Amino acid sequence: MASSTSKKPVVAVTGLEGRENPYPGLSIAKALRDARGDAIKIIGLAYEPTLTGNFRDDLFDTVYLTPLPGDPAATLMKRLREINKECPIDLLIPALDSELALFSLHRQELSDMGIEMVIPSPESVKNRYKQRLPHWAAERGLHSPATEVVTDPKTFWKQEDWDFPCWLKGSLADAYRVKSQEEAEIVAKRIVDQWGYPVLAQKEVVGEEYDICAVVRPGGDPLAMITIRKTVLSAAGKAIGAVVVDDPEAEAAGLKFLAELDWEGPLELEMMREHSSGRYHLVEVNARFPAWIGMCPGTGLNLPDLLVRLGLGEDLPETIASPTAGTMFLRSTHTKLGRVTDLGDLLANGKLELQK
């Protein structure tokens, strides 16, 4: 019952993978640790024992094993009850797109357990599904590139209005630019192997990519946001290098999208500014903090800490700083040493105390 005796807020974070395609959980924990040091208890919720974040004693106090994201909701809720009984959680920050719909559906049940979350409604979560986004945008006079489910990679591009190059995406993650039928068939298979069906094709918008990460208050009013321009992409389309910009046009476009999304909580808007028209296209909405959010304390604006303040009902700063334009990040890998006995403890007990 750590939280009741220490009065430290207890915040649970998911998404603890930190290998070549890192999930946001480690970055969120880093930002919270930067803001609060030891004055917060950070719990990691890990769906696999070998996620690298499980052994990050610089970030987490305790790590608990949880069911896989695709497991039945009842299994997850049962495990969260067990964890919450042992270590009452004040706030849960989901960090994976795949789990958000489930957490949104069970928000009240979790709140009854004392676990608060700042997340959107189930309907808002659904609206940002990749295949729904173009229709949703068109209905509101906004722009989002055509996106369709590829039912058969051999015949899909024979349709009249589809051509190469275009993007192939998994429904949850990854995006690959494909330039030919042959390449598309290989990439589609790779996406299915990694993420399962469906595979989505998205028309290419030629331009520059901007991402906006925001924390949105209940009611849809953005509390604060950071705009970056991606400068280096991984093979899977992830930003591994970017720079913070102060671009009023990009911010105005982001606010326009946000005003229609009816959002609550953290999110990342991925937008393309089309070279030919200067128009902003909404490419994706990620329903969580991005993996690059760990850099935000260095910009002077710590979004995960603001989210915790919002979620716990703490005082918000009277003025919220603007992020410093020109702050850039380049992703680096970090090799974590550990003891195999820690892995044994985690496997045997479903729990690993990192602050002994």
Residues that bind other proteins (CB under 8 A): 228-229, 231, 243-248, 325-326, 328
Q: How far is CA 171 from CA 65, 98, 216, in A?
A: 25, 9, 24
Comparison of 233 and 328: residue with beta carbon closer to other proteins = 328
116 DSSP assignment? B
Tell me how far, at minimum, the Cβ of 207 lies from other proteins, in Å: 13
Tell me how far, at minimum, the Cβ of 268 lies from other proteins, in Å: 17
Comparison of 317 and 326: residue with beta carbon closer to other proteins = 326
The DSSP code sequence of 269-291 is EEEEEETTT--EEEEEEESS--G
- Residue 336 in contact with residue 52, Cβ under 8 Å? yes
Comparison of 55 and 329: residue with beta carbon closer to other proteins = 329
In single-letter form, the type of residue at position 230 comes to K
Tell me how far, at minimum, the Cβ of 354 lies from other proteins, in Å: 36
CA dihedral sign of residues 206, 210, 211, 214: negative
- Residue 258 in contact with residue 220, Cβ under 8 Å? yes
Tell me how far, at minimum, the Cβ of 279 lies from other proteins, in Å: 16
Q: How far is CA 258 from CA 216, 220, 265, 270, in A?
A: 9, 7, 12, 12
φ, ψ for residue 132, nearest 5 deg = -90, -20
The residues, ordered by sequence, that sit 6+ positions from 220 with a Cβ below 8 Å of its Cβ are 258, 259, 261, 262, 263, 264
Tell me how far, at minimum, the Cβ of 325 lies from other proteins, in Å: 4
The residues, ordered by sequence, that sit 6+ positions from 2 with a Cβ below 8 Å of its Cβ are 8, 10, 41, 61, 87
Instruction: Report d(CA 271, CA 278) in Å as an integer.
Output: 12
CA dihedral sign of residues 134, 137, 141, 143: negative
Comparison of 325 and 330: residue with beta carbon closer to other proteins = 325
Tell me how far, at minimum, the Cβ of 206 lies from other proteins, in Å: 17
Tell me how far, at minimum, the Cβ of 324 lies from other proteins, in Å: 9
DSSP E strand stretches across 103-165:
147-149
- Per DSSP bridges, beta strands 175-178 and 166-170 are antiparallel
Comparison of 10 and 271: residue with beta carbon closer to other proteins = 271
Tell me how far, at minimum, the Cβ of 244 lies from other proteins, in Å: 7
Comparison of 73 and 255: residue with beta carbon closer to other proteins = 255
Comparison of 248 and 313: residue with beta carbon closer to other proteins = 248
Cis ω for the linkage preceding 248 (within 30 of 0): no
Comparison of 236 and 328: residue with beta carbon closer to other proteins = 328
Comparison of 54 and 299: residue with beta carbon closer to other proteins = 299
Tell me how far, at minimum, the Cβ of 252 lies from other proteins, in Å: 12
What is the chain's length? Answer: 356
